[in-house]
Amino acid sequence: MPKARTNLSVDSLIDLKYITNDSGFTAKYFYSLIKRGEFPIPIKLGRSSRWLLKDYSEWKARHIMRRDARERLR
């Protein structure tokens, strides 16, 4: 299991391994979201792909807010 990174700032670049470990979803799932325009496109650094922690955190927060809104409607 990778070491947890505790010193990240909102402008830190994170890799797909970080995202999949944090979310529990697969890389294939995230690439399908990117293709549909439902997840931020990566920043390409050579052959590597990275995302801003801020973009990922905002995406995750939106999904949590949607879930909470659905729960309130019940």
What domains does the chain contain, in order, with CATH numbers? 13-73 (1.10.238.160)
Mean pLDDT of all residues in the chain?
Answer: 92
Chain centre distance of CA 27? 10
Tell me: pLDDT of 55 over 50: yes
Q: Which of 14, 10, 13, 56 is nearest to 2 (CA)?
A: 14
At residue 70 the predicted structure's pLDDT band, cuts being 50, 70 and 90, is confident
Helix (H), strand (E), coil (C) string for 9-58: CCCCEECHHHHHHHHCCCHHHHHHHHHCCCCCCCEEECCEEEEEHHHHHH
pTM of this structure: 0.82
Q: Does the structure show a pLDDT above 60 at 1? A: no
